[in-house]
Amino acid sequence: MEPLRAEFGGPEIEPHITAVGSVLLTHDYAVKQFINGCENIEPYTCEVDQVVTRKFYYQPVSLLFHPCPWIGHFGGYLHRCNSHMPHLSLLYGNLTDEERKRALEKVTELDDSIASLKFTISHLVLYKTHNEARDQHSWEKVMEYNLRQRN
């Protein structure tokens, strides 16, 4: 989505789907619970529900995915049981209402099939992030887990 950044600014972001939002846990406990959660999830199909705009810096234009049955279960491992819809941010930035509207139009212009994307998630990654950071440079990859089919 480089054309979005070119028009509206914002830092370069590595595409990723946020499955569980910010959680305050110790490092060891977060790793243990992440592994426990991953062991109970198989690779799954992720399907875009809608393209939305929000007033949040990290989600001015995002893809929301249909809720997956495992999300609540996985969030429970991390003590994050509130409803959460996985999303993929296409842009970071503080956009005005008008800019968000134009950005949404631009997304559809660039790829009119984006609202019907569907793909398989085969691994999850746990990152330590810093909420005050405005880009991903400070993110620390803690671990990656390849999901396995259960028999």
> How do residues 47-62 score in pLDDT, each as one tens digit?
999 999 999 898 899 9
Count how many residues are written for the chain.
151
pLDDT of res. 86: 82
Catalytic residue numbers read: 16, 87
Q: What one-letter code names the amino acid at 117? A: L
Q: Which of 41-45, 70-74, 81-85, 145-149 has the highest mean pLDDT?
A: 145-149
Helices (H), the chain: 2-8, 27-38, 69-77, 97-110
The residue to which tokens 């880009």 are assigned: 135
Q: Where are the domains of the chain?
A: 2-146
| Structure letter (DSSP) for residue 29 | H
Mean pLDDT of 74-78: 59
> Phi and psi (nearest 5°) for 137?
-60, -30
pLDDT of res. 129: 82
* Range 2-146 classified under CATH 3.90.1140.10: yes
CA distance linking residue 26 with residue 37, whole number of Å: 16
Binning pLDDT at 50, 70 and 90, where does residue 74 land?
A: low
